Amino acid sequence: MFLSGRQTEILEIAKAEGRVLVEELASRFSVTPQTIRKDLNDLCDGRVLSRVHGGAIFPGGTENVKYEARRSIAAPEKQAIGRAAAGLIPNNSSLFINIGTTTEAVGEALLGHHELMVITNNINVANKLRIFPSIEVVIAGGVVRGSDGGIVGEAAVDFIRQFKVDYAVIGASAIDADGALLDFDFREVKVAQAIIANARHVILVADRTKFERTAPVRIGHLSQVHTFVTDECNIESVRTIAAEHGVRLVETSRRPV
């Protein structure tokens, strides 16, 4: 497809940041929101972006977004989710924290807790928590994924299986309307499945952009978690699944955090 100069720039921004918003682009390029909407519609018609409410996302298929770019996607929402999830975890408890930018937000929100034992396959979480004497950090062994500092592989799975903890904090790259929790790397999924199987209470943390994405590998199903913390769940089928299976749904946009 032929792209104008502005459309080419929009595509590059979307590639770098994972998501573009109409109002922000209109301000950046000093054009009207209607002009940006036409640009986005053209890019989506050409199947290089996928339209979502208020903007568009990259990728449109099953490609992953670079980890550093993912940090900036819905960052305030992730921080609120992190605080809400951390508030569910009491002092003097043990927990798993999995790979992901939203799970990292939970780790940051736990810094005021005391007497925690945190087992993680996320180097970024371990590095942030290790300096706090009231938090014991145990890190999994295995293959370190260079893109995000996640530890994956069979060694990590075997390590996780040695524990039975009070809580698990997991994320997902995508959540399907049928409640499927999805990710990109089957090695990471194996670790996530071991974490779910070895925790008494599983907390899923994911912002609403995960309803707009897809990924090829199945972690599990929403019915396998006990609490789902998100900024907003606007997918009625997901709300129904949560209600039918007794999953507590916490929406940070609907409550003070």
Rg over CA atoms, the chain: 19
Sign of CA dihedral 130, 207, 179, 144: negative
More confident residue, 137 or 74: 137
Domain end (from 60, 87, 105):
60
Percent of the chain at pLDDT > 90 equals 67
pLDDT of 65 above 60: no
Say yes or no: 110 and 183 in one domain. yes
Which pLDDT score, from 0 to 100, does residue 49 have?
83
Say yes or no: 121 and 31 in one domain. no
- What are the tokens at 13? 């921004």
CATH code for the domain in which residue 11 is found:
1.10.10.10
Domain end (from 60, 87, 107):
60
Say yes or no: 197 and 76 in one domain. yes
- Check: CB of residue 164 under 8 Å from CB of residue 93: no
Q: Which domain holds residue 105?
A: 69-254
Give the C-alpha separation, 29 to 197, whole Å.
Answer: 49
Residue 199, classified by CB atoms within 10 Å of its CB into exposed (0-12), middle (13-18) or buried (19+), is buried
CATH code for the domain in which residue 166 is found:
3.40.50.1360
Give the C-alpha separation, 18 to 5, whole Å.
Answer: 19
> Could you report the per-residue pLDDT of 194-240, keeping only the tens digit for each?
999 999 999 999 999 899 888 889 999 999 999 999 999 999 999 99
Instruction: Mark 33-71 as b/e (b = at least 16 C-beta within 10 Å).
Output: eeebbebbebbbeeebbbbbeebbbbbbeeebbebebbb
Pairing of strands 174-175, 180-183: antiparallel
Say yes or no: 32 and 76 in one domain. no
Banded model confidence at residue 71, pLDDT cuts 50, 70, 90? low
Banded model confidence at residue 63, pLDDT cuts 50, 70, 90? very low
- Check: CB of residue 229 under 8 Å from CB of residue 204: yes
121 closest CA partner among 216, 171, 46, 191: 191
More confident residue, 51 or 62: 51
Domain end (from 24, 39, 60):
60
- Check: CB of residue 97 under 8 Å from CB of residue 169: yes
Which pLDDT score, from 0 to 100, does residue 257 have?
43
252 closest CA partner among 47, 134, 109, 144: 109
Total domain count for the chain? Answer: 2
Say yes or no: 13 and 134 in one domain. no
Say yes or no: 159 and 90 in one domain. yes
Q: Which residues pair with 184 in a beta bridge?
A: none
Tell me which of 84-93, 178-187, 196-205, 240-249 is least confident.
178-187
Which pLDDT score, from 0 to 100, does residue 75 have?
80
Say yes or no: 194 and 87 in one domain. yes
Say yes or no: 44 and 136 in one domain. no
pLDDT of 1 above 60: no
Residues sharing a CB contact under 8 Å with residue 256, sequence separation 6 or more, in sequence order = none
Say yes or no: 173 and 224 in one domain. yes
